[in-house]
Amino acid sequence: MGDASNTQPSGHMRRRPNVTFETAAEHATPRVPAAGPFQRVGDLRQRLVGQRYESATHIVVCEADTFLGMVTIEDLLFAAADTQIESLMDRGAPVVAPGVDQEVAAWRAVRHGKSAVAVVDGQGHFVGVIPPHRLLTVLLSEHEEDLSRSAGFLKTTSVARATSEERVPRRFQHRLPWLLLGLGGALLAADLVGSFETHLQLNVMLAFFIPGIVYLADAVGTQTETVVVRGLSLGVPMRRMAGRELLTGVLIGMALAVVAAPFVWWRWSDAGLALSLGLSVFAACSTATFAAMMLPWLFDNFALDPAFGSGPLATVIQDLLSVWIYLSITTFVMS
């Protein structure tokens, strides 16, 4: 710790463990004043003079290397010289394990109304103190990250800003590959429609509804994708969204089908066409929800930015599925 004394914790405390990024141990420092529980306030105040610590806002109270509590510097300066440290010690001082996330450590201090947190291992050995200036850094960093997530970014504000302000060549490089993939999907869609040429020639009116089916599937998929990307960016697990989104997609598909089928039957007096369109709308919207939900999740798991890739890729998949579903159903129903 900060000075050599028979009342300070043993050398075990001075060794800072291997730390992981964004853990409590990373922010903890053992370079703080230490005292034994039965040491007198006057003796400790004299010993602190001339010593340099990384933080002197709190005095750690330990017996050997076992953490007992903490005393604030204000209480130490106010107390009478013959008072024992034990009587000033806060035994309920906030404590966290070395591997606890930094945000948890910071909020534990806030909930306890304290400006520092002790880091103690599983055996009760003192590791260090997260001092006030480091807790403030953690809170500011986590606040920035939360604001970034609430805006729909998966990364920090700095990363999102860099993406928004990057030069034209970088924008071109990031976006073109996904759009080339979309172009390939459009060519594949043309081949797919061509494979149903005979069926379309027998009933040209079927071609009139292809843009509508594709649009509805894309619209439903875009809504789902927006909800899922925002949820993932806010830390909502996919298992909490999957069932609800899938059920919502099915219900939307059913509602659109119930509206579309009677209208087509009334407008064109073709029961087969109406039934085909209703079934196609239902199936296309349901599958679009699934595709739009899974792609952002996959991008997030592979640490890819869904802002660039999931939209174009989801559109390609949804369009191909929608066209295939529509033409397959109409072929089966109207043959």
Q: What is the mean pLDDT of residues 199-216?
A: 82
Span 254-292, pLDDT tens digits: 999 999 999 989 988 888 889 988 999 999 888 888 887
Which pLDDT score, from 0 to 100, does residue 234 have?
62
pTM: 0.48
Tokens 């129903």 locate to 333
Percent of the chain as helix, strand, coil, to the nearest 5: 65, 10, 25
Average pLDDT, the chain: 79
Please state, in angstroms and as integers, the Cα–Cα distance from residue 262 to each residue in 47, 328, 334, following that order.
90, 21, 17
Higher-pLDDT residue of 59, 145: 59
Of 96, 94, 95, the C-alpha closest to 23 is 96
Higher-pLDDT residue of 160, 126: 126
Cα 321 from Cα 326, distance rounded (Å): 8
Q: What is the mean pLDDT of residues 31-40?
A: 92
Which pLDDT score, from 0 to 100, does residue 6 have?
39
Q: What does R_g of the chain's alpha carbons equal in angstroms?
A: 32
Of 260, 267, 266, the C-alpha closest to 329 is 260
**Above 90 in pLDDT, residue 216?**
no
> Helix 157-165 to helix 132-150 angle, to the nearest 10 degrees?
50
**Above 90 in pLDDT, residue 67?**
yes
Span 84-94, pLDDT tens digits: 999 999 988 88
Span 129-178, pLDDT tens digits: 999 888 888 877 766 665 555 444 444 455 555 556 667 777 777 667 76
- Do 39 and 53 form a contact (C-beta atoms < 8 A)? no
**Which of the four pLDDT bands, split at 50, 70 and 90, describes residue 2?**
very low
Q: What is the mean pLDDT of residues 305-320?
A: 68
**Above 70 in pLDDT, residue 109?**
yes
CA atoms within 13 A of residue 273's CA, in its CB half-sphere: 18
E strand intervals along the chain = 34-35, 58-63, 66-72, 95-96, 117-120, 126-130
Which pLDDT score, from 0 to 100, does residue 33 have?
93
Cα 155 from Cα 98, distance rounded (Å): 25
Token duo for residue 237: 């697990």
Please state, in angstroms and as integers, the Cα–Cα distance from residue 6 to each residue in 36, 91, 262, following that order.
9, 21, 90
**Which of the four pLDDT bands, split at 50, 70 and 90, describes residue 251?**
very high
Of 267, 270, 299, 277, the C-alpha closest to 216 is 277
Token duo for residue 173: 């490089």
Token duo for residue 65: 């290397």
